[in-house]
């Protein structure tokens, strides 16, 4: 088996080979992505992607633990990171540590990710000094969707300065990498030059030290969600729909199950009368 990567290995990749990162929420997808990725994130996007929630605000620690356990069973090589869900870390460093420790102990992940910049830097420092490797997440932070009033690109004007400061603060607080979400190329480039840790972009241009996307998005596993920053490398929803339709037809026409799917002797079709 390949040597398991660690958070320090990821930090050491700054300015070298781009970091390849994807989400996973289940064991079979974790097995598929492990060979090809440096970091696998059990994102709180699981709430929207697999559970049909309207945003990530309703995701619970229990959901993250359940999906984290499933992903752990599928990984050998990639660094496993679990998102801290909304409400599990914002009260302060002690609450954050208690819940991060639960995530690490119960799922076997080697790092956690949390959203926020300057406002959460003290918590990142508290965790990092106590054996919890942290990835930061600045720019568009989806857990704040209600405060933002939507999922618009961040840092297009005066708030660019603020996002730069967020990223620098997160880095100085001891995070080993930082996700930059939905910001312009110029800002992503500036942040990547100014922070000491790898930047991992999602909708943040190739100027970042690595990229992350939701695996279901690149596989085209569902129909309608098509943001500009996602490239679809497959159209699995269409393939799946066609297979389901064929199954339904074959059952209705009594063409499935066929002889090769049946136990025992089947001298002639058991259903269908006249055959
Ligand atoms: O929840 C998520 O999937 C994320 C990403 C950065 C893709 O936070
Ligand atoms: Na997330």
Residue 174 is part of a domain; what is its CATH number?
3.20.20.60
pLDDT of residue 269: 60
pLDDT of residue 165: 98
pLDDT of residue 153: 96
| Long-range contacts of 48-54, Cβ-Cβ distance < 8 Å, separation of 24 or more | 49/23, 49/25, 49/214, 49/216, 49/222, 50/25
Contacts of residue 101, defined as CB under 8 A and 6 or more positions apart, other chains included, come to 132
Per-residue pLDDT tens digits for 168-217: 999 999 999 999 999 999 999 999 999 999 999 999 999 999 999 999 99
Per-residue pLDDT tens digits for 246-263: 999 999 999 999 999 999
Does 243 sit behind a cis peptide bond, omega within 30 degrees of 0 on the bond before it? no
Q: Is 207 in the same domain as 245?
A: no
Two tokens, residue 202: 């999602």
Q: Report, as residue numbers or ranges, the catalytic residues.
A: 181
Q: Is 71 in the same domain as 13?
A: yes
Name the DSSP class of 4: P
Q: Is 177 in the same domain as 58?
A: yes
pLDDT of residue 171: 98
Contacts of residue 252, defined as CB under 8 A and 6 or more positions apart, other chains included, come to none
Is the pLDDT at 221 greater than 50? The verdict is: yes
Q: Measured from the CA of 202, which atom of ligand 1 is nearest?
A: 6
- Tell me, yes or no, whether 1 lies in a domain: no
Q: Is 126 in the same domain as 242?
A: no
Per-residue pLDDT tens digits for 32-48: 999 999 999 999 999 99
With the most atoms of ligand 1 within 8 angstroms of its CB, the residue from 20, 71, 202 to mutate is 202
Q: Is 147 in the same domain as 22?
A: yes
Domain limits for position 105: 7-234
ipTM: 0.99
Per-residue pLDDT tens digits for 125-147: 999 999 999 999 999 999 999 99
Q: Is 109 in the same domain as 245?
A: no
- Tell me, yes or no, whether 2 lies in a domain: no
Per-residue pLDDT tens digits for 75-97: 999 999 999 999 999 999 999 99
Q: Are 182 and 134 in contact (CB under 8 A)?
A: no
- Nearest CA residue ID for atom 8, ligand 1: 43
Confidence of residue 222 (pLDDT cuts 50, 70, 90): confident
Q: Is 142 in the same domain as 253?
A: no
Q: Is 129 in the same domain as 230?
A: yes
Q: Is 178 in the same domain as 272?
A: no
Alpha-carbon gap, residue 66 to 248, rounded angstroms: 32
Distance 23 CA to ligand 1 centre (A): 7
Q: What is the mean pLDDT of residues 110-126?
A: 98
Is the pLDDT at 267 greater than 80? The verdict is: no
Alpha-carbon gap, residue 105 to 89, rounded angstroms: 16
- Tell me, yes or no, whether 72 lies in a domain: yes
- Tell me, yes or no, whether 170 lies in a domain: yes
Is the pLDDT at 273 greater than 60? The verdict is: no
pLDDT of residue 266: 72
Binding site membership of 179 for ligand 1 (Cβ less than 6 Å): yes
Q: Is 117 in the same domain as 180?
A: yes
Per-residue pLDDT tens digits for 92-107: 999 999 999 999 999 9
Q: What is the mean pLDDT of residues 64-72?
A: 98
pLDDT of residue 265: 83
Q: Is 210 in the same domain as 269?
A: no
Q: Measured from the CA of 212, which atom of ligand 1 is nearest?
A: 7
Is the pLDDT at 160 greater than 80? The verdict is: yes
Q: Is 67 in the same domain as 136?
A: yes
Confidence of residue 275 (pLDDT cuts 50, 70, 90): very low
Q: How many domains does the chain have?
A: 2
Is the pLDDT at 272 greater than 70? The verdict is: no
Alpha-carbon gap, residue 136 to 158, rounded angstroms: 21
- Tell me, yes or no, whether 36 lies in a domain: yes
């Amino acid at each position: 088996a390949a040597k398991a990567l660690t958070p320090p290995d990821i930090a050491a990749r700054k300015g070298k080979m781009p970091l390849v990162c994807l989400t996973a929420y289940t064991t079979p997808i974790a097995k598929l992505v492990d060979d090809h990725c440096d970091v696998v994130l059990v994102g709180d996007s699981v709430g929207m992607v697999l559970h049909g929630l309207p945003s990530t605000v309703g995701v619970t620690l229990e959901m993250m633990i359940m999906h984290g356990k499933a992903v752990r069973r599928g990984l050998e090589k990639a660094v496993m990171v679990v998102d801290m869900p909304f409400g599990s870390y914002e009260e302060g460093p002690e609450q954050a540590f208690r819940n991060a420790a639960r995530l690490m102990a119960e799922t076997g992940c080697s790092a956690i990710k949390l959203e926020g910049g300057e406002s959460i830097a003290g918590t990142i420092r508290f965790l990092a000094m106590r054996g919890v490797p942290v990835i930061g997440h600045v720019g568009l932070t989806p857990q704040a969707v209600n405060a933002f009033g939507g999922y618009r690109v961040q840092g297009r004007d005066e708030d660019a300065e603020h996002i730069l400061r967020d990223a620098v603060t997160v880095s100085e607080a001891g995070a080993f990498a930082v996700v930059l979400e939905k910001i312009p190329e110029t800002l992503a480039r500036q942040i990547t030059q100014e922070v000491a840790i790898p930047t991992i972009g999602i909708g943040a241009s190739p100027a970042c030290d690595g990229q992350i996307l939701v695996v279901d998005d690149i596989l085209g596993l569902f129909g309608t969600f098509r943001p500009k920053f996602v490239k679809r490398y497959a159209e699995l929803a269409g393939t799946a729909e066609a297979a389901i339709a064929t199954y339904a037809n074959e059952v209705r026409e009594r063409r499935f199950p066929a002889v090769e799917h049946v136990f025992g002797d089947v001298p002639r079709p058991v259903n269908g009368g006249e055959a």
